[in-house]
Amino acid sequence: MPFILIRLVRRLGRVQAWGLPLLIILTVFLTSWPLMAWAEPPENTITAAENYWWWFLVTASTVGYGDFFPTTLGGHLVGVYVIVGGIATLTTVFTRIATAIETAKGQRMKGRIELDISDHLVILGYTPGRTERLVEELAGDGTGPIALCAWEDVPQHPMSEHAGVEFVRGDLADEAVLRRAGLHRAARVLVDARDDNEALTLTVAVTHVRPDAHVVVTLRDMGRARNFSYVDDDVRCVQWHSPRLATEELQDPGIAAVYAELMTHGGRNTYSARLPARLAGRGFGRVQEALGRGFGATVLAVQHRGELLDPSWETPLPEDSVLYYVGRRRLTAEEIADTCSA
């Protein structure tokens, strides 16, 4: 009997997917029942309809409860046939499962799967080393799941060791590829392209698929930021050479505009001033409040002998401290001393 089963498996080797194990077990069942009825005496109730399916199930699965069993040599041979058929079926099933798992893993590594995530971050473009640093900074801030999208020249997932980073590969200007990355459900998008022309193309595609997302674009030439405002006024452009600014804008929307205002001539700027000697020991909060009321300035940091301090409101400022502040203009030592002493 086993050789019949082996020939059957060889003939059906090309049957697709799960049809093969189902066909094997059905064939064994339908052929073994009449053979068992022929081999066993009538008084053996194993061949009764209400009993045989149960005996076949426990025997094919190699459990064998022993409540029903064949008594003749022919019946024993049929039992061997059923056992071999059960083993062949289980082996085929496990092989199919293992193949399905490996196929899914391979598809994930090649970026061919459709992601089932939402409210995530989509990164369009991959640059070795740079993208890893961006992801590390974002992961440190608890950004949530990330969909990394790369062009076809990236053969497989470059960051597979990161559990929270999924991978999609293809034409990044293609709507179908963007939807595979779940961009239509994304909360934020970082366009980190290979050049500014490509960045503009991808931004058009992004705003078409997901017009409500917070989109940040890195540019080599910030003079081209105006072109992106034609696509969408809410697109935020940052300098490509300042990846930290890109991650900050993704985490805190609008911060890039604040930095741009600080760096714009005629707007507020950052300055430093040494703390006047007569203000030594004065509480940080009093100095902060006086400069704010008198000049609309905001103290950002305090340095003392090369070390940045983290003062509380009541912390006395040591002598020779340096104040770093944002204001409309540079303040003289006399202005600072007079205002804080009033």
Q: What is the DSSP string of 246-305?
A: HHHHHHSTTHHHHHHHHTSTTS-EEEEEEPPGGGTT-BHHHHHHHHHHHH--EEEEEEET
- Output the pLDDT for position 229: 87
> Taking all residues of the chain, what is their mean pLDDT, rounded to a whole number?
84
- Say whether pLDDT at 3 is over 70: no
Convert the pLDDT of each residue in 108-153 to its tens digit.
788 888 899 999 999 999 999 999 999 988 887 667 899 999 999 9
pLDDT-derived band at 261, boundaries 50, 70, 90: low
Q: For CATH 3.30.70.1450, list the domain ranges present in the chain.
A: 268-340
- Among 116-130, 155-169, 248-262, 304-318, which is the least confidently predicted range? 248-262
**Span 320-332, average pLDDT:** 89
State how far the Cα of 137 lies from the Cα of 197, in Å rounded to an integer: 26
CA-derived radius of gyration, the chain: 36
State how far the Cα of 136 lies from the Cα of 162, in Å rounded to an integer: 10
Tokens coding 80? 């061997």
State how far the Cα of 157 lies from the Cα of 150, in Å rounded to an integer: 9
User: What dotted CATH number matches 268-340?
Assistant: 3.30.70.1450
DSSP 146: E
Q: Which fold has domain 12-110?
A: Helix Hairpins (1.10.287)
Show the CA angle centred on residue 297, arms to residues 241 and 311, nearest 5°: 80
- Say whether pLDDT at 201 is over 90: yes
- 3-state SS class at 308: strand
**Span 81-107, average pLDDT:** 78
- Say whether pLDDT at 64 is over 80: no
Nearest to 114 by CA among 147, 89, 88, 152: 147
Give 125's Cβ-side CA count (13 Å radius): 23
Cβ count within 10 A of residue 253: 14
**Span 172-194, average pLDDT:** 94
Convert the pLDDT of each residue in 265-309 to its tens digit.
555 678 889 999 999 999 999 999 999 899 988 888 899 988 888
Q: Is the dihedral of CA 93, 97, 103, 106 positive or negative?
A: negative
Cβ count within 10 A of residue 291: 22
Contacts of 218 (CB under 8 A, 6+ apart): 190, 191, 192, 193, 199, 237, 238, 239, 240, 243, 246
- pTM here is 0.59
Calculate what percentage of the chain has a pLDDT beyond 70: 90
CATH class, domain 120-241, is alpha beta
- Among 69-73, 125-129, 205-209, 267-271, which is the least confidently predicted range? 267-271
State how far the Cα of 325 lies from the Cα of 323, in Å rounded to an integer: 6
- Among 26-35, 201-210, 291-300, which is the least confidently predicted range? 26-35
- Output the pLDDT for position 8: 46
Contacts of 58 (CB under 8 A, 6+ apart): 64, 65
- Output the pLDDT for position 17: 56
Q: For CATH 3.40.50.720, list the domain ranges present in the chain.
A: 120-241
Residue with tokens 């997917």: 17
- Among 246-260, 275-289, 295-309, 316-330, which is the least confidently predicted range? 246-260
State how far the Cα of 321 lies from the Cα of 308, in Å rounded to an integer: 10
Q: At what angle do helices 19-39 and 2-11 cross, to 10 degrees?
A: 160
- Output the pLDDT for position 216: 94
Tell how far CA 197 is from the center of its chain: 26
- Say whether pLDDT at 250 is over 60: yes
DSSP 205: H
- Among 8-12, 125-129, 323-327, which is the least confidently predicted range? 8-12
- Burial class of residue 99, CB neighbours in 10 A (0-12, 13-18, 19+): exposed
Nearest to 84 by CA among 25, 165, 154, 19: 25
pLDDT-derived band at 1, boundaries 50, 70, 90: very low
Q: For CATH 1.10.287.70, list the domain ranges present in the chain.
A: 12-110
71, 41 in Cβ contact below 8 A?
yes
- Output the pLDDT for position 177: 94
- Say whether pLDDT at 41 is over 70: yes
User: Hey, which residues does 165 pair with through a beta bridge?
Assistant: 146
- Say whether pLDDT at 194 is over 60: yes
